[in-house]
Amino acid sequence: MAWDTDGTKRRLRDAALVEFAARGFEGTTVASIAARSGVNKERLYSYFGDKKALWGLVLATELERLAVAVELTGVGLDDIGEFAGATYDYHAAHPELGRLLQWEGLQDGPPADAAVRTTHYREKVARFATAQRDGLLDRDIDPAHLVFALIALAAWWQTVPQLAEMLTGAGPHDQQERLARRRFVVEAARRIAAPSCL
């Protein structure tokens, strides 16, 4: 019987995603990943090297999935609103990403795949800066701060769902509240970025 290498790697990555999101890098063991995946530890080491390499791969893969799913198509106010709305949708559907990013922020050392991620985000900052010079967006806001604010506005609902529920009285699975939150994110993003003359 042929060994399904791709399937085994996928099972290990999927198990690592669940374990890392729940326990962070420090709290996750190779044994817990192997047990969740049903694959022995030796396969993990042979495919990924070690836990640190697997952590970096899992985080980079999840961020790449976000980048593919949430594309900034333009830089007008409607584009900004839809970017924030799509970011909200993605984080609502994939709450494990926010947990991974929080765990990453709590550990020492450089972020996973830092050079690629920095290039990705700086490209957005440059596009926003150009839109500001063209009068499409508020020129008084630092474009890097604007990108950060839009991402935080969209993602924080899932990052601290307990706070969102305390404030609104509705949980993350309440579909009407979820739609209301998305509408708020889109409109708030548009208002934050709008030139003061509008």
For 17-46, the DSSP string reads HHHHHHHHHHH--HHHHHHHHT--HHHHHH
Which pLDDT belongs to residue 1?
45
- 2 three-state secondary structure: coil
**Burial class for 174, CB neighbours closer than 10 Å (0-12, 13-18, 19+):** middle
Selection from 22, 94, 103 nearest residue 56 by Cα: 103
Which pLDDT belongs to residue 81?
94
Which pLDDT belongs to residue 66?
93
Which pLDDT belongs to residue 124?
93
Question: Residue ranges of the chain with pLDDT lower than 50?
Answer: 1
Digit-coded pLDDT (tens) for 16-72: 999 999 999 999 999 999 999 999 999 899 999 999 999 999 999 999 999 999 988
Q: Give the single-character DSSP code of 174.
A: -
